[in-house]
Structure 1
Amino acid sequence: MRRTRAVAVVGVGLAVLLATGVYIGVLGAPSFTAVENRFTGVSEETTTIGTELVIENPNPIGVRLGGASVDYSVRMNGVPIAAGGREGLQLGTGRSTLAFTTEMDNGQVPAWWYTHVENGERTQVEIDGEVRSSTLGRSLSVTQGDSIETDIIGQFNSTETRPVDANVPLVSDPVLYINETRGTWDRPNLTRQQSPMDLAFTVHNPKSLPYTVSRIGYTVSMNDVEVGSGETTANYVIRPGETETIDARAAIENENLDEWWVTHLQRNQQTQLRIDFSLVLEARGTQIRIPLDPVDYEKSIETDIFGNKAEYPTGGGSSQGDIGDQEPRTATPTGTPDDGVLDTETVTSTDSGSGLLGGNETVTPIPGDSTTDDGILAI
């Protein structure tokens, strides 16, 4: 019994001594040396994020202090997408790696997308971690930031002239020339439910009779997931040999973006965005729906949210299946296990993530041909 009491007294005394040593600066305070995150799994509802926090304890001895815990969160433009923590940590002397996972609710993707568009297609990824010791009343924190930038709608702008064919009997092609396309996000009407786009087509009529454009349709898809479709009612008259600017509207329905997000991770954070257009032409009492294949918009979007997807790729270029086994490595503390002596310290790093792939389109203007006069014939 006396021996047990003696050991207890020595243990308490050593803990007090160690705490006092940190307080007066005799012993060194542990610090974060690395923070690493990666996507380790995805389902229809959730995305798993694996995290490793590396802590360096410069003290030559390890003593179990108890009451140590870690809290962890990830935010994108302030939108919380993942949070977690662990209790009962034990930190040894030297370097210790704390490995754990957090679950992201895919239902947060639409909320994040809204902020991404509202912020000019820019996202700040904020990663906060804090290790606390209730025994010493001290904490160790780390903040890490990465930025994401895309230019999805801006690359719709083009001055390349493209002929449009009707591909129907008794009609001589091309029936139109699209001389220019322009697009912007309609941010004044942006909502958490919908991301609208203002689009414009400069259209030239090469025929000898007037056209009326009565409707313009669109379908937006991301990795073959339809995220928006609709039709704009129009009443544009394009006279023979003249050029007219036609305004149109398209929109992404944000509620569909959680389904897209799954494919984005399965394809190693790559997305093929496509907008298909069509219009209804009226001439001489005949209506023809014409797919605007030459101006269908297709661009690649690539992100690297944690800045390490080259080292930890996800998926196999397919929209099917899991994103692979990328679980964090098992924690491997060195030296004598203890709960650490924690002091307040903040480490901040900022890295730039990759944005949209692809540069500006090649521009080859072709003057609209106003000499063709065979027109559209009534069927």
Structure 2
Amino acid sequence: MRPTAVRIGLAVIVGIAAALGGLFAAGVIGVPDAGLEDNAWGEVSDEEIEVLTTVWIDNPNPGFSLGDTRIDYAIAMNDVDLASGSADDVTVPSGNTTTELRTDLRYQRLPAWWASHIRNDEVSELAVETTAHVDVGPLSGSPSGTYTDEKATELEPMIAASLAEFEGEHTLSPVGSGAGTGTVEPTVEIRDTDAEWGAVTENRTELHLTFDVHNPNAHPLPTPALTGEMVFNEVTVAHWDAHEVDVRDGPDDATIPPQSSREITFVAELDNDDVAAWFATHADNEEVTDAEMRAQLAMQINGETRTIPDDEDAIHCTYELRTDIFVDQAAGLEREDCTLAPWAAPDDAAFEDRDSTDDRAGAETESESTESSDGLATVASRAS
């Protein structure tokens, strides 16, 4: 190529660039702006949760479209990256338009998010970031926007409200006195209850369930066992049998003496993978969950099992839980009903397994028979 032609070509390029620069300075052309329009849930299966992200792009340049635009986006809650992706070669016509992007939520990251949510008092900071990489001639830019919001749940108060249904005096079915003097009707008073989250890891979450148990009888009562479950949208997120629940800060003595009260805290556990399975149903159901909780106390008196509530019933409470992560609705928790429902009492093997668990934990036990003034002989397991 001749030097003169090269100089002419360079002059043309410089001239075009200068002209575009002048038009940009004059406000005739400009770099597009972009931001988040909307998020929504897409297809949901047992292994995938699709997220639909709609990005708006404002191309202020009349008369021509922009090609080769790349859009990046990322979704996080409590700084746990849950989804990210990009779309290349997006054509942006003049004016304000929208583009829908699809990606899958990182299902395996949901347990980590749940752990952060519980540690943060059931509050999650949602952040959705979008960036558009655009070129207008020699001009380029990467306009971005970040949407943030605070999302909260009220699961701990829900569990505490369910336990409160135990409060009051319970007269149990008659049991043999064990001393050949007929039968007696043990009475148990639950004076107070509470629930709170305990230790949490990415794999498991502790739930502390506390009962203030008063023994108004003239004879001692054994420390009760706790069974129960929580079911969200027909997914069992927690189920605990008598031998699976440890007692924390309970009495060293395995009996509650006559006319005495003991505060007993049971430690149940949730598998965080089950929480992830529930979240898929929650997203698929427009962020609405039908939540159920069942719980029952049980104790063995002279070899006979008695439950609280009586007659092998359990407290059964139902709630509707709503969130507004991507669905435009009022978030909250609504109690629907609390009733008594049939629930199998622990069998002898469950109590034996619980005692065996205590033995493995290092407690050496011995059986001791005590007889009260009303003739009720209670076999108690005492830590030595």
Change (3 A) 1:59 1:233: closer
Unaligned runs of 5+ in 2: 1-10, 177-182, 248-252, 339-372, 379-384
Q: Hey, what's the Cα distance between the residues in 2 that align with 1:225 and 1:375? A: 47
Q: CA deviation at 1:54?
A: 1.8
Task: State yes or no: 1:221 paired with 2:221.
Answer: no
Which position in structure 1 is the counterpart of 2:331?
Answer: 354
Cα distance in structure 1, aligned partners of 2:259 and 2:34: 69
Cα distance in 1 for residues equivalent to 2:375 and 2:48: 55
2:190 pairs with 1:178: yes
Q: Which amino acid aligns with 2:47?
A: E
Query: Partners of 1:233 and 1:376 in 2: how far apart?
Result: 28
Map Cα deviations across residues 280-315 of structure 1 (whole Å, 9 max, x no partner).
Answer: 4233x324152555655654422110242x5xxxxx
Specify whether residues 23 and 85 from structure 1 end up closer, same or farther in structure 2 by C-alpha distance, changes over 3 A only.
Answer: farther
User: Normalised by the size of structure 2, how large is the TM-score?
Assistant: 0.69
Q: d(CA) in 2 for partners of 1:374 and 1:224? A: 47
**Which one of 317, 321, 331 corresponds to residue 301 of structure 1?**
321
- Whole-Å separation in 2 of the counterparts to 1:282 and 1:195: 29
- Counterpart residue identity of residue 254, structure 1: N
Higher mean displacement: 99-108 or 41-50: 99-108
Matched, 1:238 2:215: no
Cα distance, 1:122 vs structure 2: 0.2
Match in the other structure for 1:50: 52
Q: Indicate which of 152, 156, 161 corresponds to 1:153.
A: 156
- Asked if the contact 1:68/1:131 (under 8 Å) is kept, the reply is yes
Return the match for 2:24 from 22, 25, 29. 22
In 1, the alpha carbon distance for the partners of 2:246 and 2:327 equals 44
Distance 1:13 1:46 in 2: 53
SS of aligned partner of 1:88? strand
Q: 2:215 aligns with which of 205, 212, 224?
A: 205
Aligned residue runs from structure 1 range 310-349, under 5 A: 310=329
Alignment match, 1:259: 277
Q: Matched residues in 2 for 1:166 and 1:13: separation?
A: 96
- Cα separation, 1, equivalents of 2:185 and 2:228: 22
- The worse-fitting range, judged by mean Cα deviation, of 166-175 and 209-218 is 166-175
- Tell me by how many angstroms 1:23 deviates: 5.2
Classify the secondary structure of the residue corresponding to 2:289: strand
1:317 aligned residue: none
CA distance in structure 2 between the aligned counterparts of 1:52 and 1:12, rounded to whole angstroms: 38
| Contact 1:205 1:238 (C-alpha < 8 Å) held by counterparts | yes
Q: Give 1:229 shift.
A: 3.1
Distance 2:57 2:185 in 1: 69
Partner of 1:109, secondary structure, is helix
Q: Supply the RMSD in Å over aligned alpha carbons.
A: 3.5
Distance 1:265 1:112 in 2: 15
For the residues of structure 2 that align with 1:103 and 1:12, how far apart are their CA atoms? 45
Contact residue 41 and residue 51 of structure 2 kept, 8 A = yes
Q: Which residue of 2 aligns with 1:103?
A: 104
Shift of the alpha carbon at 1:157?
Answer: 3.7
Alpha carbons 2:32, 2:59 under 8 Å: kept: yes
Name the CA distance, whole Å, in 1 between partners of 2:376 and 2:230. Answer: 30
5 Å-filtered alignment, 1:32-71, equals 32=34, 35-64=37-66, 66-71=67-72
Tell me what 1:286 maps to: 303
CA contact (8 A) 2:35 2:144 kept: no
1:282–1:141: structure 2 CA closer, same or farther, 3 Å change rule? same
**Aligned-pair CA distance for 1:74:** 0.8
Counterpart position of 1:326:
none
Matches of 1:17 and 1:109, distance apart in 2: 52
Q: Percent identity of the aligned residues?
A: 26
Is 1:112 aligned to 2:113, yes or no? yes
Q: Could you tell me which residue of structure 1 aligns to residue 382 of structure 2?
A: none
**Measured at CA, do residues 26 and 241 of structure 1 come closer, stay the same or move farther in structure 2, by a change above 3 Å?**
same
Give secondary structure in 2 for the equivalent of 1:67: strand
Alpha-carbon separation, structure 2, partners of 1:215 and 1:294: 13
Letter in structure 2 aligned against 1:57: N
- Higher strand content, 1 or 2: 2
Rounded Cα–Cα distance in structure 2 between residues aligned with 1:174 and 1:214: 13
Deviates more, 1:54-63 or 1:78-87: 54-63
> Aligned partner of 2:288: which letter?
Q
Deviation digits for residues 9-50 of structure 1 (CA, Å, limit 9, x no counterpart): 999976874455335644344333651111121011111111
Distance 1:50 1:33 in 2: 14
Distance 1:179 1:110 in 2: 35
- Once the two structures are TM-superposed, the CA of residue 81 in structure 1 deviates from its matched residue by 1.3
Q: TM-score, normalised by structure 1?
A: 0.70
Change over 3 Å in CA distance of 1:375–1:224 after alignment to 2: farther
Match of 2:143 in 1: 140
Between the aligned partners of 2:170 and 2:234, the Cα distance in structure 1 is 24
Q: 1:34 to 1:219 in 2, by over 3 A?
A: closer
Amino acid of the structure 2 residue aligned with 1:142:
G
**Whose helix proportion is higher, 1 or 2?**
2
Which stretch shifts more, 55-64 or 113-122? 55-64
